[in-house]
Amino acid sequence: MNMEKHGNKTSHQVLQIAMVVRAFSQKGGLELYTHRTIEGLLERGHHVTVICEESDSSLTHENLKISFFEKANKKDRKAKRIKHHFEAATKAVKALGPFDIIHSQHLPMQGANVASFHNHTANRLGTVGQDWEKLLSNLKMFYSTAYKRRFEQDSILCEAKVLLFPAKVMRDDFREVYALDKNHSPASYVVAYPGANFPKGENKTVVVPEGNGQRDPITFLFVGKGFRKKGLDILFAACKLLKEKKTPFRLIIAGLSQKPIDKLRLQTLGLINDVAYLGFRKDMENIFAQAQVIILPSRIEPFGMAPVQGMLEGLVPIVSAVTGVSEVLTDNHDALILKNHLDAKELSALMTKLIDDTQLREKLSRNAKQTASTLTWGKTVDATLTGYEEALR
């Protein structure tokens, strides 16, 4: 290993890095983020040992090693699985070390000197949800063993020298909940936004609804899982308002398959002919080609990679102000920002604005594509290495 002696190691030196993650994969937001980061670190000449529970990655590199810790029993309750991951990952890192950097990708463990957080704090819904959601979330913090254990494990990860976040909204959430400023300097918080490019998928035929108007309707796209956390309930309420005003539109949903309760919900709202569930898709570039607007009205969203991926294809994003992705966008320049993520009327108005104003939609589309092109994984790796330098200082 290149070990120039100048007191501390720098990004110019080759580092031995332990990257601890549950699954080494390109599927899912956390996993894709981690995979792209590892690719960048390898390209910079560093040595990476991935320590994980499972892997489906085909990545090979002379400086890459993959090691596995004991798998958790999927039949066990969540709290028990969290405890298992904590013990198994901690043991594996100790056995495989020493390392210059031990980097946990939000996997419970002891001894990480760099920790990346990909989910908000356990009680986040208690601050951004509707009143009944806040009450339920607060009750879970008292009575749910899984919630308590997750809170405790995140507290341990917060003991790392450097904490990385995909957005400022995540950073501020953790700073407040765990009173991090008592033991951390501002330099120990690093925001590393994700890049916009993503793996190419499979080609499939997309079936979308015909719409409900005489003129060609605008197609809106929702990507993700989670009915309330992702704000799909607010989006449906906004669509109902559009339908009542006889405004033509279509909505396609990728990432969720329609269940009987979903069909009943659409029938009740009068949206059965205007909304289509596409299920889990690998051919997202094909899905993006079917829409003009991508909507992310989430209550809880550490960043939200789908909008920037869609922006590369020219889709106009509508995102809520509490999402991390809103931090890299500018209202009425390359996106429309939903100020109140619980306000269906405001969301409906933004959708109507794009339906009615073709010139605005075209301007936002051009600017969105330009903005997305500036969001690169190289910048993510740069920010990560800045964090490593701080941890080694």
Spans of all domains in the chain: 16-195+376-392, 218-373
Provide the 10 A C-beta neighbour count for residue 45. Answer: 12
Q: How confident is the model at residue 282 (pLDDT cuts 50, 70, 90)?
A: confident
With a cut of 60, say whether residue 206 has pLDDT above it. Answer: no
Q: How many residues does the chain have?
A: 393
pLDDT at 216: 72
pTM for the whole structure: 0.91
Residue pLDDT, tens place only, 160-173: 999 999 999 999 99
Q: How far is 139 from 105, CA to CA, in rounded Å?
A: 28
**How far separated are the first and last CA of the chain, in Å rounded?**
18
Q: How far is 111 from 105, CA to CA, in rounded Å?
A: 13
What is the third-level CATH fold of 16-195+376-392? Rossmann fold (3.40.50)
**Superfamily (CATH) of domain 218-373:** Glycogen Phosphorylase B; (3.40.50.2000)
Task: Say which residue the tokens 């108007």 belong to.
Answer: 213
Structure tokens at 44: 């910079």
Bridge-based pairing state of the strands 218-223 and 249-254: parallel
What percent of the chain shows pLDDT beyond 70?
Answer: 92
| DSSP 8-class letter at 331 | B
Q: How confident is the model at residue 50 (pLDDT cuts 50, 70, 90)?
A: very high
Q: How far is 278 from 201, CA to CA, in rounded Å?
A: 15
